[in-house]
Amino acid sequence: MKQIAEWALGMAVARGASHAEARIVNERVRALGTRNGRVAVASEEESLGLGVRVLCEGGWGFAATQELTRAGVERAAALAVEIARASARVQREPVRLVDEPAAVAEWSSACEVDPFAVPMEENFELLRRIDRTLTAVEGVTLAETSMIFRRYEQWFYSTEGAAIHQTRTTTGAGFSAHAFEGDSIQTRSYPNSFGGQYQTKGYELVGELRLLENAERVGRECVALLKAPQCPEGRRDVVLDSSQLGLQIHESIGHPIELDRVLGYEANFAGTSFLTLDKLHTLRYGSDLVNVVADARPEHGPGLGTFAYDDEGVAAQCVPIITGGRFEGYLTSRDTAAMIGRERSGGHMRAEGWARVPIVRMSNVSILPGEKPLSFEELIAGTEDGIYMETNRSWSIDDKRYNFQFGCEAGWEIKGGKLGRMLRNPSYSGITTEFWNSMDAICDRRYWTLWGTPNCGKGQPEQGMGTGHGAAPARFRQVKVGGAYGS
């Protein structure tokens, strides 16, 4: 791989690039799934290629190819320089990068059981058993199960001398039950919606999730939702489970803190951000209990945003985002950090694969668990009149990340400190900073889970990315609920 990179970097410099990076990626994905007992997903995919990013005359250029011969690589590098020169024609000021030590490193994510080595018969047998358990529940009209394994191996070289070889193995698994009756389609998923839980782990994750053990309960809850009363409309105290809080973090903290959005780079697609530069270190983002970090380091946990180096060679860091409720940091890259006078990037440049250029992305953007001991049972016991909501069903937020609305799969009344009857179609909405300032309790570390969001979309051409979000169940006071079905 080093030879391929040398061809690319050599040609880029020869054509006039002042800086060049070569990323070679070898990716393998296996996806399996069933629907009502039939195999619906059975695929393997592998992809090997090179992306060359260059700076020339102060403009960016990027070209990607899968033709890894000397001719193919040099053609891509020369094209990247030609593109950079075209960029420089329509540019306000030359790109500047903050310094980063050129790392020479080898790193692999922890993986106890290689998911690609597990017999596929075993994979399918587990999925079939879950599927059968779900469809055996009277009233379940559709059962879906899935597993996905991914190995992402990357070699990064730069004209600054970086030589980084990283391998990340990720695993995802989960299931859903659907029930249709009359004028209602209801869904319950486990352990999360949209495919379940995803982490940077091996097959050991599948065992930890206890999928089969939860299948019958989830099927029954799905059917029960058909008869459950509608979530009321009004203002209530709301308790969110950790997976829903993870997505709340993703949408109303993770995206607005992306510095490229703040600087207008995403204005035409993903949008901008209400977190203008004047709000840094001054905005009261949330209550005193809200402490959020963007932490890519392995010690944060096996999140989908865990790595040793980002895709422009910056070492993984823990960046404080919200401390004691105050807004303290952005997600940055080497060029955006320079624009706001920072000395170093926070290490948030990530690319979907070899064919795509790195852009500012979340790593693991997590809320820290409560420091005081608080169990889920104590959290509910301390809530007089509220609604507990679990598992995301819909999510929407405006292009500056102020106004959001989330729907969940299931809700339960909380009356006098106890969980009561189930509610269907629960939803809540609000304004980002008002919502986070209403948080008055969060469970301790025992209840904290590092969730994976595998499908975050951003950029043009659009790139999908996996991000991590650690969260524990938390309570928010007097939140607007039921508006999604309101008149």
Which of these, 360, 363, 356, 433, lies nearest to 402 by C-alpha position? 433
How far apart CA 248 and CA 406 sit, in angstroms, is: 8
Return the number of the residue (57 or 237) whose C-beta is nearest other proteins: 57
The first and second tokens of residue 277, run together, are 């530069």
Residue 108 to residue 363: CA distance in whole angstroms: 17
Gap between the Cα atoms of 57 and 85, Å rounded: 6
Q: Smallest distance from the beta carbon of 43 to other proteins, in angstroms?
A: 5
Query: Distance from CA of residue 309 to its chain's centroid?
Result: 17
Helices (runs of H) and strands (runs of E) counted in the chain = 10, 23
Interacting residues of 72 by C-beta distance below 8 A, sequence separation 6+: 65, 66
Give CA separation, 347 vs 104, 305, 361, in Å: 16, 11, 9
Q: Which CB atom, from 145 or from 306, has the smaller least distance to other proteins?
A: 145
Would you say 46 or 288 has its CB closer to other proteins? Answer: 46
Place of tokens 């998911």: 115
Positions of E strands within 59-162: 59-65, 104-108, 142-158
**Could you give the residue ranges of the DSSP H alpha helices within 402-475?**
432-437
Nearest residue to 48 (alpha-carbon basis) of 66, 70, 62, 21: 66
Q: Which is nearer to other proteins, 230 or 375 (CB)?
A: 230
Query: Taking the complex as a whole, how short is the minimal distance between the CB of residue 274 and other proteins, in angstroms?
Result: 7
- Nearest CB to other proteins, comparing residues 382 and 483: 483
- Taking the least distance from each CB to other proteins, the nearer of 25 and 379 is 25
Minimum distance, C-beta of residue 50 to other proteins, in the bound complex (Å)? 11
240 versus 315: smaller Cβ distance to other proteins: 240
CA–CA dist 334, 137 (Å, integer)? 53
Q: Which is nearer to other proteins, 146 or 383 (CB)?
A: 146
> Beta-carbon neighbour count of residue 95 at 10 Å?
20
Closest to 354 in 3D by CA, of 46, 55, 58, 7 = 46
- Minimal distance in Å, beta carbon 91 to other proteins? 4
